[in-house]
Structure 1
Amino acid sequence: MSNSNPTRYIDIQGVEQTFKTRKGNFPALRDINLTVAKGEFVTLIGHSGCGKSTLLNLIAGPGPERAVVFQNHSLLPWLTCFENVFLAVERVFGRSETRIQLKVRTDAALALVGLTAAAQKRPGEISGGMKQRVGIARALSMEPKVLLMDEPFGALDALTRAKLQDELLDIVAATQATVVMVTHDVDEAVLLSDRIVMLTNGPAATIGEVLAVNLPRPRHRVALADDPQYQHHRKAVIDFLYTRQAHVEKAA
């Protein structure tokens, strides 16, 4: 990550990734060039196997300045919601802050995602959507410079997914977080993003197109449903994924 230039908060230049398999080397990504500005929300979209999660993992690396939210919430089932978040807070800030300060941080993170009332419940006692909110709270509690999200709402039903998308819009507006998110959902990408990065089909996937989403914030899904600009962006992504990439596959 680059801290000196706000327009290049994340700077990826000429990145490639090859995996060794039993059948030989598998080129997952090639010639990836991407910059992300501070406070920007960028989504990565493409067909299965195009290397979206691989690219997200390359950005993640080690260190608490980058927090990851997965599709699987990965909560410890024997701990309460509070304790799951507190564990992350203690790991990052435990050497510099008192236990009271750590508790305040944990409470604030749970309040940010609307889970104060569920703080003492265990994962088995709450819904799937609430579990994902705990995962988001845990990530935000670490005050990461970059929030990385790998299809965080992919396993949820449509109504819960829509609710959490709306909540994520509010959270990002409140925290001014820099977000890179993997998704398969075109509408989700257009609703949330400042830019949509479209990857070509694998193997040796690369960035085929980057679409700037010129929709004012705050955004409201009901108001956007009939918005011509929203429909224009949606069509552009669908055209890339299901028309242009389909032609590439047939030509190959």
Structure 2
Amino acid sequence: MNNDAKFIDISGVAQTFKTAKGVFPALRDINLQIAKGEFVALIGHSGCGKSTLLNLIAGLTTPTEGGLLCANKEIKGPGPERAMVFQNHSLLPWLSCFDNVYLGVERVFGKTEKKDQLKSRTAAALELVSLGHAAHKRPGEISGGMKQRVGIARALAMEPQVLLMDEPFGALDALTRARLQDELLEIVARTRSTVVMVTHDVDEAVLLSDKIVMMSNGPAATIGELLPVPLARPRNRVALADDPDYQRCRKAVIDFLYTRQGHVEKAA
């Protein structure tokens, strides 16, 4: 297999946690390959280990069993080639949008680039998410959607090979969410980043991804099914509404979640 076809290679991964009630098995027997430039959505009911798997790829936790590779290198901890975007934007409220992004840029490139170069990287990242006009504002002065875009800019400014997103639009209203989904499609098309995104939203998963990883219910969750999404890019949500492949993929995910895995929470 071409190395690009398994840019992220997860093999035999299991994850357990020690709790007051004993050992809790979060994940078992996770085997997954993600190609370079591929957009992968992780979906499943609450407690199925989606965020746990994302944290393993980020290097924030270490697997109990198995191993993870990125670009043929073992993932042993966090690294600048993997950037994380959380549901909570995690911005420092006393810093401007520019300074929040600059903080990450300086951490990654501060030893190899001059201050002017760091500032240029920061400005370019804010322009990429259409926030150049708000660079001087603090988080308390901008909307929730704009805060989340700053978080995305901060991640992109580090020029990561892999963009990891943990329900980045989950706390936003429907219209803002749709607008940021469309912007994300454009950004990924330009940067050609490899993306792994956790979501509860079926339509979001189908609209954005090349492959949907459907997780079984926890505890001891595993990959229940992999669904390729054969939709051409660029994608337009209005045009896709009546697309038979879109509808087929959407139905397959819903059938898995609410028929095979049981209706344990409100449908997305």
What TM-score bracket applies, with the shorter chain setting the length? over 0.9
Is structure 2 residue 268 aligned with structure 1 residue 239? no
| Secondary structure at the counterpart of residue 201 of structure 1 | coil
Is structure 2 residue 172 aligned with structure 1 residue 156? yes
Q: Name the structure 2 match of 1:30.
A: 28
Structure 1 unaligned spans of 5+:
none
Q: How does 1:1-252 map to 2 (within 5 A)?
A: 5-61=3-59, 62-246=78-262
Name the CA distance, whole Å, in 2 between partners of 1:156 and 1:200.
26
The Cα RMSD (Å) is: 1.1
| Secondary structure at the counterpart of residue 246 of structure 1 | coil
Q: TM-score, normalising length from structure 1?
A: 0.96
Name the CA distance, whole Å, in 2 between partners of 1:88 and 1:247.
41
Structure 2 unaligned spans of 5+:
60-77
Query: Percent of pairs identical after alignment?
Result: 80
| Secondary structure at the counterpart of residue 261 of structure 2 | helix
| Secondary structure at the counterpart of residue 18 of structure 1 | strand
Residues 16 and 24 in structure 2, CA contact (< 8 A), matched pair in contact too: yes
| Secondary structure at the counterpart of residue 196 of structure 1 | strand
Distance apart, 1:145 and its partner CA:
1.1
Once the two structures are superposed, residues 18-64 of structure 1 have per-residue CA deviations (whole angstroms, 9 ceiling, x without a partner) of 00001100000000000100000000000000000000000001111
Name the CA distance, whole Å, in 1 between partners of 2:233 and 2:80.
29
Corresponding letter in the other structure for 2:175: L
Q: TM-score, normalising length from structure 2?
A: 0.90
Q: Which moved more, 1:41-50 or 1:238-247?
A: 238-247
| Secondary structure at the counterpart of residue 171 of structure 2 | coil
Once the two structures are superposed, residues 123-171 of structure 1 have per-residue CA deviations (whole angstroms, 9 ceiling, x without a partner) of 0000000000000000000011100000000000000000000000000
| Secondary structure at the counterpart of residue 98 of structure 2 | helix
Residues 257 and 263 in structure 2, CA contact (< 8 A), matched pair in contact too: no
